[in-house]
A = this chain, B = another copy of it.
Amino acid sequence: MNSESKYERLVHMLRQQANLGAALALLEWDQETYLPSGAIDSRVRQIGALSSALHRERTAPEFLNLVDDLATRPEEFNADQAVDIRETKWKLDRQRALDEPFVRQRAELHAHARNVWISARRDNDFAALAPYLARIVELAREMAQRIDASRFAYDVLLEAYEPGATTATLRPMLEQLRDGLVPLVERLRIRATRPSATATVLCGDFPIEAQRQFNREVLKILGFDLTRGRLDEAAHPFSTSIGDDSRLTTRYAANDLRYGLFSTIHEAGHGMYEQGLEAQAWGTPCGESCSLGIHESQSRLWENLVGRSAAFWEYLLPLARRFFPALENVSVAAVAHTVNEAKPSFIRTESDEVTYNLHIILRFELELELISGTLRVVDLPEAWRAKMQRSLGIEPPTDRDGVLQDVHWSCGDFGYFPTYTLGNIYAAQLMQKARTVLGDIETQLSRGDCAPLLEWMRVNVHRIGQRFRGTELIERATGRAPDTDALLAHLENKVGFIER
């Protein structure tokens, strides 16, 4: 076989894997949406069987040899082919660094720890979880060592979620963000002591069936293609791609329009990214999303920078009134205040746009110390409280509201949290740049015209695939390496609005 045919063979094998991955995604999507309660055990077995079939494809000697062979002579391929080979080889080398007993050991530990976490959180009993967490930290370090012993362990973990990111650039950036946010939060705390007249205009009686229809209309306005995607409901909203089929889920609260709506818009941001990937490159790195941080930039951009803007509500509110008569006498200004409420709180997933990143930075700093070995697991709850007091000015009354609130660490996901804040940083930069290119985005949004903004994202973010890593993608799209200026300017502006 010549190089061209070998590359074609690689694409064929990657697509076979991607198709099996899509079938797996459907099993998981269905589990969260339509699976009858009594069928969960049989679903777990189906997922296990398909995962093992997929694993066999990914570790088939023919596949491994082919990738290794192609990677030895990048000069024989065009730019896109070289990307596919480089990224496939990179993932494969990480995968091969871990032998099967080690992978199984980690999977079993995380499965146990996840169960222990559920009861530990319920019982507010950090001590029950601590020995598991300690072992998980050890194994995370060992994993990093096995993959690349020459590099700082946290960097090796981080790049599983955000390829190309390093602690050396991430840490100062997040410190700067923290230092910029703390005074904003102080202003929010002062503000929060005053009574608010507008805080509840989206609370009331919002029948679920009307919300379903309204949320579908919102998807169409944003540009989400419902002929290649769906909107369903799940206890924990998420989105997934099943081949050329992008499925969003949301959850409605009958007494609060915001809950379902912002979940829907957030997931639509993820979904539109997936829908914007290059169809011809499907199944290969050139046609796959770049990183978790870039993915999150798209969900946060649409949720926060579009969905919470007064301009967009100029258009959305008259539409919403058609579904919800209760909104008849509500003003855009009142809605804008309602959807931009902000004040320090304990729980990350319930926190607002301004304080959210401080929750993330706290976790980033703690997990960096855990992996570096400068913080012991037993000291984690106390360190959590101290850090939260310093950054948010509040201290959780229990570990349940503190260190036990997230499942991530019990799953060994160290390096995952920062991608949430990277998403916010990237989103603000992308929006700032789009504004300079597209002119008056506010006027466009106030007419319900999201097409220019979406098209700009299509060209500058979606269609890139994995041709560049996250940092480089942002630099090419915006002309600036990732930095916190745009995000801080946006949030400062927002706090000013809240104070009005």
Chain A contacts to B: CB under 8 angstroms: 15-16, 19-20, 22-24, 26-27, 30, 34-39, 41-43, 45-46, 48-50, 52-53, 57, 225-230, 242-245, 282
Cβ contact within 8 Å between A16 and B243: no
B41, B52, B227: the one contacting A244 at CB < 8 Å is B41
Cβ contact within 8 Å between A30 and B26: yes
> Which 10 pairs across A and B sit closest by C-beta, in order of nearness?
A42-B243, A19-B49, A39-B245, A42-B244, A38-B227, A38-B228, A19-B46, A22-B46, A53-B53, A23-B50
Nearest chain B residue, comparing its CB with the CB of A25: B46
Nearest chain B residue, comparing its CB with the CB of A48: B19
Nearest chain B residue, comparing its CB with the CB of A16: B49
Known: A16-B52, A42-B244, A43-B243. A230 touches B27 (CB 8 A): no
Nearest chain B residue, comparing its CB with the CB of A52: B16
B15, B49, B245: the one contacting A20 at CB < 8 Å is B49
Query: Could you tell me the distance in whole angstroms from the C-beta of A288 to the nearest C-beta in chain B?
Result: 14
Query: Could you tell me the distance in whole angstroms from the C-beta of A55 to the nearest C-beta in chain B?
Result: 11
Query: Inside 8 A of A37's CB, which chain B residues have their CB?
Result: 227
Cβ contact within 8 Å between A19 and B50: yes
Cα A325 to Cα B95 with chains together (Å): 64
Cβ contact within 8 Å between A230 and B34: yes
Known: A20-B50, A22-B46, A26-B26. A228 touches B39 (CB 8 A): yes
Query: Could you tell me the distance in whole angstroms from the C-beta of A129 to the nearest C-beta in chain B?
Result: 32
Cα A195 to Cα B427 with chains together (Å): 72
Query: Inside 8 A of A19's CB, which chain B residues have their CB?
Result: 45-46, 48-50
Query: Could you tell me the distance in whole angstroms from the C-beta of A151 to the nearest C-beta in chain B?
Result: 36
Query: Inside 8 A of A35's CB, which chain B residues have their CB?
Result: 245
Nearest chain B residue, comparing its CB with the CB of A245: B39
Known: A27-B23, A27-B26, A37-B227. A245 touches B42 (CB 8 A): yes
Query: Could you tell me the distance in whole angstroms from the C-beta of A408 to the nearest C-beta in chain B?
Result: 28
Cα A370 to Cα B50 with chains together (Å): 42
Known: A16-B52, A226-B36. A42 touches B22 (CB 8 A): yes
Cα A23 to Cα B46 with chains together (Å): 7
Cβ contact within 8 Å between A245 and B22: no
Known: A23-B23, A27-B26. A230 touches B46 (CB 8 A): no
Q: Can you spell out 13 A-B residue pairs with CB atoms less than 8 angstroms apart?
A: A15-B49, A16-B49, A19-B45, A19-B46, A19-B48, A26-B26, A36-B227, A37-B227, A38-B228, A39-B228, A42-B242, A42-B243, A45-B243
Cβ contact within 8 Å between A39 and B225: no
Cβ contact within 8 Å between B53 and A20: yes
Query: Inside 8 A of A16's CB, which chain B residues have their CB?
Result: 49, 52-53
Nearest chain B residue, comparing its CB with the CB of A243: B42
Cβ contact within 8 Å between A49 and B36: no
Give the one of A20, A24, A46, A228 with max B CB within 10 A: A46
Nearest chain B residue, comparing its CB with the CB of A22: B46
Nearest chain B residue, comparing its CB with the CB of A275: B38
B43, B50, B226: the one contacting A245 at CB < 8 Å is B43
Nearest chain B residue, comparing its CB with the CB of A232: B34
Cβ contact within 8 Å between B36 and A229: yes
Cβ contact within 8 Å between B46 and A53: no
Cβ contact within 8 Å between B57 and A53: yes
Nearest chain B residue, comparing its CB with the CB of A24: B23
Cβ contact within 8 Å between B30 and A49: no
Cα A265 to Cα B48 with chains together (Å): 33
Query: Inside 8 A of A39's CB, which chain B residues have their CB?
Result: 227-229, 242-245
Cα A23 to Cα B22 with chains together (Å): 11
Query: Inside 8 A of A242's CB, which chain B residues have their CB?
Result: 39, 42, 46
Cα A244 to Cα B245 with chains together (Å): 26
- Assuming A19-B48, A36-B229, A39-B243, what are 5 further A-B pairs, CB within 8 angstroms? A16-B52, A23-B23, A26-B27, A38-B245, A53-B53
Cα A84 to Cα B250 with chains together (Å): 45
Cα A46 to Cα B17 with chains together (Å): 10
Cα A49 to Cα B52 with chains together (Å): 15
Cβ contact within 8 Å between A23 and B36: no
Query: Inside 8 A of A225's CB, which chain B residues have their CB?
Result: 38
Nearest chain B residue, comparing its CB with the CB of A19: B49
Nearest chain B residue, comparing its CB with the CB of A29: B30
Cα A34 to Cα B33 with chains together (Å): 12
Cβ contact within 8 Å between A243 and B22: no
B36, B45, B226, B282: the one contacting A230 at CB < 8 Å is B36
